[in-house]
């Protein structure tokens, strides 16, 4: 269809949405070395990542996504980004890298891109666990949120995965914000994001 | 890809009816201020009164003088009613407001405003088909009830409420009754006189007229306070220089809607049923939302679990098919449609909902086109989805 009105997303998003790369086909036998799923259909998006890894290098990738155009395009772009990448580098990919690879997303759609890197990390963790190196990259690329107690975004992510879905529970798990309390706003934003991603199923 | 556009979003808004457009073009020079005493002013005023009569006729009010005021649209009409309740209820023991969980946001938010101002507000729940529960209404209605506001028909799922019964119960307790008839007028018969409501909201752009113009019916003797204060226009209930062109367009759109109502209903329900049956036949594992029979003739709301609404909408859009969705992603919030959730539909079904709302330019050929384009889109999205067919089947078991 030829129209003069611009699409609500960039050409790259449109391309990845219309012709997504590396989708796991029905009945395809993809022998994954690591796999991870995050998100929740109830919250509107869920992603599955399957990785084929040799010598810690990602050889091939397949994925499935339930979600909106941004979620589908983000997963597709991320899957292209990580092929041939060392798992240590892949582990440090941030949502922002995906948004850049897509040439940007509308402001209210940024949250649709935050799932991919999490699913990827879960898949890499799954591979590390299988190869007897559980938690190897735990602190890799982590950002300190609570400077008083050295608590990172990964610690918050981990606590939410273990069921800390509100501020009080997060404090019980991590002691975050119990000293000066300056980190609370940022920590609560992260909490909100992670609950959306890993929340109750 | 082709250049074909199939617009099926008529509940969002409608194009101008060609005869309304013609009428408005003819009236473009009716510029005089209808409040002026001179000849041109009197002519404009007379044209406006003709329009008022025509809009009144659409809703069964044969003498619209003093009972029908023009506003900027449905939102203003609804807000005028709720602002009136604020004025008469704030120093009175009779101040309870009853409305429903599936109203348009302008009613919901006006009710929440009154709630924040200290008014007791009750939101009636609805059943799986979007119908209110009259036992619940009876149980919350009492002598302190000031207003019961129930929409005639819902914009998302099309479910039609029994307003006559609402009036009967509310009047027994001395309460006022408002109905937001924005989606119903022009699609089904609406007769404010027979219903006995105190207030009814109308919007022009849903019935093939221009945007920016609506009306509020106020039964003779029912209290009303202006939302916009100023001059003496609209019997002092709504100030502001007359929107000549909008009002005249509204009058003509209302006249045509009344004249064409029966033809419209039979054409729409035939097309909608064809679309519904076709989707049921061609797309496995779906759920039809709303009421099967008490539903607007043009509206069809379907959930396609396993596929997400915004993705469906955008794939359809690329095929030239224009619809809307109740998914969260499309609204920019994290929650899907409040209407679908209120019917008890799980979020996984609400996220995958699509509303097809048909209108005067749709043809059987359009429906065939949609029935051709839609199934592969759903199949494609489901094939890249994490949700498995057996999970979908299980989810659907829960709602059927």
CB B54 within 8 A of CB B259: no
Q: Which of B385, B342, B400, B369 is nearest to B159 (CA)?
A: B342
Min CA distance, B198 vs chain A (Å)? 41
Residue B282 lies in a domain: yes
Q: Note whether B114 and B174 are same-domain residues.
A: yes
Pick among A66, A199, A201 to test the B interface (most B CBs inside 10 A): A66
A146 a catalytic residue: no
Q: Output the six-digit token pair for B71.
A: 């506003």
8 A C-beta contact, residue B157 and residue B163? no
Q: Do B384 and A65 touch (CB under 8 A)?
A: yes
Please indicate, yes or no, whether residues B268 and B237 belong to a single structural domain of this protein. Answer: no
Query: Does residue B24 sit in helix, strand or coil?
Result: helix
Residue B329 has pLDDT above 80, yes or no: no
Cα B192 to its chain centre, rounded Å, is 16
Q: What 3-state class would DSSP assign to B174?
A: coil
More confident residue, A153 or B102: B102
Residue B330 sits in a domain whose CATH number is 3.90.1150.10
Q: What is the pLDDT of residues B270-283, one digit of tens each?
A: 999 999 999 999 99
Listed in sequence order, the residues at least 6 apart from B220 whose beta carbon sits closer than 8 Å to its beta carbon are B66, B67
Q: Which DSSP helix (H) or strand (E) runs through A62?
A: strand A57-66
B30 and B120, same structural domain?
yes
Give the pLDDT confidence of A147-175 residue by residue, as tens digits.
Answer: 877 888 888 888 888 888 999 999 888 88
**Is the model's pLDDT at B1 over the cut of 80?**
no
* CB atoms near residue B284 (< 10 Å): 15
ipTM above 0.85, yes or no: yes
**pLDDT score recorded for residue B123:** 98
Contact (CB, 8 A) for A34 and A51: yes
pLDDT at A54: 96
Distance CA(B208)–CA(B220), nearest Å, equals 28
pLDDT tens sequence across B201-257: 999 999 999 999 999 999 999 999 999 999 999 999 999 999 999 999 999 999 999
SS3 content of chain A, % helix, strand, coil (to 5): 45, 15, 40
The verdict on B346 touching A (C-beta cutoff 8 Å) is yes
The whole-number pLDDT of residue A4 equals: 47
Distance, CA of A128 to CA of B152 (rounded, Å):
59
Query: Considering B221, B242, B259, which residue would you say is the last residue of a domain?
Result: B259
* Degrees to nearest 5, angle at CA A78 with A75 and A80: 115
Angle among Cα B380, B385, B391 to the nearest 5 degrees reads: 115
Instruction: Say if CB B49 and CB B286 are below 8 A apart.
Output: no
Helical spans, DSSP H, in B124-176: 134-140, 163-172
Strand partners, B356: B300
CA B18, CA B54: separation in Å to the nearest integer?
18
Q: Is residue B386 part of a domain?
A: yes
Q: List the CATH number of the domain containing B121.
A: 3.40.640.10
Measured distance CA(A102)–CA(A77) in Å, rounded: 7
DSSP character at residue A108: G
Question: Are residue B168 and residue B297 in the same domain, yes or no?
Answer: no
Q: What pLDDT is recorded for position B330?
A: 65
Structure tokens at A4: 């003069």
pLDDT of residue B400 exceeding 70: no
Whether residue B1 is contained in a domain is answered as: no
With a cut of 50, say whether residue B82 has pLDDT above it: yes
Pairs of residues, one from chain A and one from chain B, whose beta carbons lie less than 8 Å apart: 80
- Kindly give the residue spans of alpha helices, DSSP state H, lying in chain A: 11-18, 69-82, 87-90, 95-101, 116-130, 153-161, 167-174, 184-198
How do strand B145-149 and strand B96-100 relate by DSSP bridges?
Answer: parallel
Ramachandran angles phi, psi of A55, nearest 5° = 50, 45
* Residue B75 forms part of a structural domain: yes
Residues B369 and B380 in one domain: yes
Of chain A, the percentage scoring pLDDT greater than 90 comes to 46
Both B223 and B203 in a single domain? Answer: yes
d(CA A159, CA A156): 5
Whether B99 and B43 map to the same domain: the answer is yes
Instruction: State pLDDT tens for residues B128-158.
Output: 999 999 999 999 999 999 999 999 999 999 9
Domains contained in chain B, number: 2
A144-198, superfamily in CATH?
BFD-like [2Fe-2S]-binding domain (1.10.10.1100)
State the catalytic residue, choosing from B40, B88, B329, B371: B329
Q: Does domain A7-130 have CATH number 3.40.50.10580?
A: no
Question: Which of B244, B259, B274 is the endpoint of a domain?
Answer: B259
- Are B244 and B280 contained in the same domain? no
What is the reported pLDDT for A2?
42
Q: Are B306 and A66 in contact (CB < 8 Å)? A: yes
| Nearest alpha-carbon partner for B386 in A46, A109, A178 | A46
Contact B347 A23 (CB under 8 A): no
Mutation choice for A interface testing from B305, B335, B336, B384 by most A CBs within 10 A: B384
User: Can you tell me the distance from the alpha carbon of B57 to that of B52, in angstroms, rounded to the nearest whole number?
Assistant: 9
Q: Are residues B245 and B317 in the same domain?
A: no
Same domain, yes or no: B248 and B266? no
Average per-residue pLDDT for chain B? 96
> B217 Cβ partners below 8 Å, 6+ apart?
B56, B59, B61, B67, B68, B192, B197, B199, B200, B201, B202
Exposure on the CB side of residue A129, measured as CA atoms within 13 A: 10
Q: Last residue of some domain: B259, B288, B319?
A: B259
Which residues span the domain enclosing B232? Answer: 18-259
Question: Radius of gyration over alpha carbons of chain B, in Å?
Answer: 22
**Spans of chain A, pLDDT less than 50:** 1-4, 201
Q: Judge whether B356 lies within some domain.
A: yes
Determine whether the interchain pair B328/A112 forms a contact, defined as Cβ–Cβ distance below 8 Å.
no
B332 confidence band (pLDDT: 50, 70, 90): low
Q: Does the annotation count B204 as an active-site position? A: no
Structural domain spans, chain A: 7-130, 144-198
Q: Give the pLDDT of residue A1.
A: 41
Q: State whether B301 and B265 are in the same domain.
A: yes
Please identify which of the residues A43, A146, A148, A180 carries the catalytic annotation: A43
Q: Do B225 and B353 belong together in one domain?
A: no
Find the mean pLDDT for residues B50-78: 96
Residues of B in contact with A66 (CB under 8 A): 306-308, 385-387
């Amino acid at each position: 269809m030829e129209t003069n009105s611009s699409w609500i997303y960039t050409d790259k998003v449109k391309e990845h949405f219309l012709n997504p790369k590396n989708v796991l086909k029905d009945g395809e036998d993809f022998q994954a070395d690591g796999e991870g799923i995050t998100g929740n259909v109830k919250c509107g998006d869920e992603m599955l990542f399957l990785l084929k890894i040799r010598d810690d290098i990602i050889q091939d990738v397949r994925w499935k996504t339930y979600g909106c155009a941004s979620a589908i395009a983000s997963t597709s772009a991320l899957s292209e980004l990580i092929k041939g990448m060392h798992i240590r580098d892949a582990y440090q990919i941030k949502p922002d890298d995906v948004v850049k690879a897509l040439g940007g997303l509308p402001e209210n759609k940024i949250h649709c891109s935050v799932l991919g890197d999490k699913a990827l990390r879960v898949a890499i963790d799954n591979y590390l666990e299988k190869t007897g190196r559980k938690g190897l990259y735990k602190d890799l690329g982590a950002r300190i949120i609570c400077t008083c107690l050295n608590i990172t975004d990964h610690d918050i992510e981990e606590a939410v995965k273990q069921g800390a879905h509100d501020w009080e529970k997060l404090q019980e798990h991590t002691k975050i914000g119990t000293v000066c309390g300056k980190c609370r706003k940022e920590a609560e934003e992260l909490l909100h994001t992670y609950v959306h991603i890993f929340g109750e199923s | 890809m082709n250049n074909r556009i199939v617009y099926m979003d008529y509940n969002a808004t409608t194009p101008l009816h060609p005869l309304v457009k013609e009428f408005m073009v003819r009236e473009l020079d009716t510029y005089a201020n209808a409040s002026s005493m001179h000849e041109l002013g009197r002519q404009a005023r007379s044209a406006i009164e003709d329009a008022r009569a025509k809009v009144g006729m659409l809703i069964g009010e044969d003498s619209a003088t003093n009972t029908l005021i023009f506003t900027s649209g449905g939102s203003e009409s609804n807000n005028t009613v709720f602002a009136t309740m604020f004025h008469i209820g704030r120093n009175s023991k009779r101040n309870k407001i009853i409305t429903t969980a599936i109203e348009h946001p302008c009613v919901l938010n006006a009710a929440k405003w009154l709630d924040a101002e200290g008014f007791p507000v009750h939101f009636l729940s609805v059943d799986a088909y979007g119908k209110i529960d009259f036992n619940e209404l009876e149980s919350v209605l009492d002598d302190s009830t000031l207003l019961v506001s129930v929409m005639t028909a819902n914009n998302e799922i099309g479910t039609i409420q029994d307003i006559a019964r609402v009036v009967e119960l509310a009047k027994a307790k001395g309460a006022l009754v408002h109905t937001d008839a924005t989606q119903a007028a022009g699609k089904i018969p609406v007769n404010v006189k027979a219903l006995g409501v105190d207030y009814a909201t109308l919007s022009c752009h849903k019935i093939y007229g221009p945007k920016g113009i609506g009306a509020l019916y106020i039964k003779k003797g029912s209290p009303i306070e202006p939302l916009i204060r100023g001059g003496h226009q609209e019997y002092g209930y709504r100030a502001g220089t007359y929107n000549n062109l909008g009002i005249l367009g509204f009058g003509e759109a209302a006249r045509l809607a009344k004249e064409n109502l029966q033809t419209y209903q039979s054409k729409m329900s035939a097309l909608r049923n064809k679309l519904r049956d076709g989707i049921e036949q061609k797309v496995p594992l779906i759920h039809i939302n709303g009421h099967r029979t008490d539903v607007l003739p043009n509206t069809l709301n379907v959930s396609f679990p396993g596929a997400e609404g915004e993705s469906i909408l955008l794939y359809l859009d690329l095929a030239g098919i224009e619809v809307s969705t109740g998914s969260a992603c499309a609204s920019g919030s994290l929650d899907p449609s409040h209407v679908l959730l209120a019917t008890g539909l799980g979020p996984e079904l609400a996220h995958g909902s699509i509303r097809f709302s048909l209108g005067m330019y749709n043809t059987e050929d359009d429906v065939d086109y949609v029935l051709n384009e839609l199934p592969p889109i759903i199949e494609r999205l489901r094939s890249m989805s994490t949700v498995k067919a057996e999970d979908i089947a299980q989810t659907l078991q829960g709602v059927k």
